[in-house]
Amino acid sequence: MQFIDLAAQQARLKDKIDARIQAVLAHGKYILGPEVAELEERLSAFCGARHTITCANGTDALLLALMALDIRGGDAVFVPAFTFAATAEVVPCMGAVPIMVDCDPDTFNMDPESLKRCIVMAREMGLTPKVVIPVDLFGLPADYTAIEPIARDEGLTVIADSAQGFGGRIGNKVTGTFGQITTTSFFPAKPLGCYGDGGAIFTDDDNLAELMTSYRFHGKGDYKYDNVRIGMNSRLDTLQAAILLEKLAVYEEEIEARQRVAERYSSALAPRWSVPTVPGRMLSVWAQYTLKAEDRAARDAVMARLKEAGIPSVVYYPMPLHQQTAYKAFPVDPDGLPVSEEVAGQVFSLPMHPYLSEADQDRVIEALLTD
């Protein structure tokens, strides 16, 4: 059984992807070829953002967003402690200070009350609160209905890190349209992934879009050899765009299939396990289906049992950021980060992808319900 079965998806799309690749090889425009512009248009149509700017990876997408916002030394950027390092690592690159915010024990996403405490603390430290980067962890949109009003009141810009959640929804609004900027990743294991690295940035702001388009291409202006600002090289290559076009064409169907798998898991496992929470009006794209064990020992025991049954499981993330060597010196919520520390010792994720058969789902369910 595969944890994420990319081969099954590739078998479905192989002929169309092969044709797309051959078309790129025929025209030879390997950097910013026509497929890149086509993909940007289709991504905007999918999520409703006015502008889509593709780039080399999801980490660069975050960095480009901070560059466009002119983040610098003395600025505070608020990030979750319970997430992948990319969200925080871009902040010191700009000379700014990442401040670690605790997470909600049920959704694992940024806790708005913890964010409020961190904003107060940042000002007391003499920092200028500038940006908050909520993460759509495991495919579930962050609580933007609570976070965006806080950001407005405090003068913060919201960068929505939807590396795992692109395509998720709150009501009729799709990730890609939350905050002033949304970023995503097309890493192969993501719900919408390419066959290498890739990323994208979404915004409705014309000025920010112009800046990020320039920054991703060495800071160029209207003329290629007139670089009007210090930029970087972060372009999505044409072959990856061609592959993503075919994957995007079936993405809605795959999201629906993920819902069916998640609903089947939750229906069967809820009597015995702490299953994922999806608040009302929200839709997750189920980048991961994540359970909570009672504690670390219980998690180790159940993962060992799954392994014996030939069922893969993975822990995301066993150590919150503030406990990792590179991040220990950065500020945290003045009340500490007890929830991030607790869930890091409880969570484990099950096989989840659109092509997971009911027979394999039954194997997973049976293993988790058998002592």
Question: Which tens digits make up the pLDDT trace of 45-65?
Answer: 999 999 999 999 999 999 999
The whole-angstrom separation of Cα 198 and Cα 192 is 10
Question: Which tens digits make up the pLDDT trace of 195-210?
Answer: 999 999 999 999 999 9
The reply to whether 156 falls in a domain is: yes
What are the percentages of helix, strand and coil residues in the chain, rounded to 5?
A: 45, 15, 40
The per-residue pLDDT for 222 is 86
The per-residue pLDDT for 224 is 76
The reply to whether 1 falls in a domain is: no
The per-residue pLDDT for 96 is 98
Residue for token digits 């998640």? 262
Query: Do 51 and 189 reside in the same domain of the chain?
Result: yes
Query: Do 36 and 156 reside in the same domain of the chain?
Result: yes
**What are the start-end ranges of the E strands in 73-186?**
75-80, 97-101, 128-132, 157-161, 169-170, 173-174, 181-185
Give the up-direction half-sphere exposure of residue 343: CA atoms within 13 A in the CB hemisphere: 25
The per-residue pLDDT for 371 is 75
Task: Give the pTM.
Answer: 0.96
Of residues 287, 244, 180, the one with CA closest to residue 40? 244
The per-residue pLDDT for 278 is 97
Q: How far is CA 65 from CA 82, 103, 159, 160, 352, in A?
A: 21, 23, 8, 10, 30
Query: 219, 249, 279 — which closes off a domain?
Result: 249
Query: Do 205 and 230 reside in the same domain of the chain?
Result: yes
pLDDT mean over 264-290: 97
CATH code at position 212: 3.40.640.10
CATH code at position 300: 3.90.1150.10
The per-residue pLDDT for 130 is 98
Query: Do 217 and 151 reside in the same domain of the chain?
Result: yes
Query: Do 239 and 272 reside in the same domain of the chain?
Result: no
The whole-angstrom separation of Cα 212 and Cα 217 is 9
Query: 249, 277, 305 — which closes off a domain?
Result: 249
**Cis peptide, bond prior to residue 317, ω within 30 of zero:** yes
Query: Do 48 and 137 reside in the same domain of the chain?
Result: yes
Number of domains in the chain: 2
Query: Do 355 and 326 reside in the same domain of the chain?
Result: yes
User: Exposure pattern of 173-212 as b/e (b: 16+ CB <10 Å)?
Assistant: bbbbbbbbbbbbbbbeebbbbbbebbbbbbbeeeebbebb
The whole-angstrom separation of Cα 157 and Cα 82 is 21
pLDDT mean over 15-43: 98
The per-residue pLDDT for 223 is 81
The three-state secondary structure class of 258 is: helix
Question: Which tens digits make up the pLDDT trace of 178-201?
Answer: 999 999 999 999 999 999 999 999
The per-residue pLDDT for 225 is 85
Domain extent for 258: 252-369
Question: Which tens digits make up the pLDDT trace of 317-347?
Answer: 999 999 999 999 999 999 999 999 999 999 9
Query: Do 202 and 55 reside in the same domain of the chain?
Result: yes
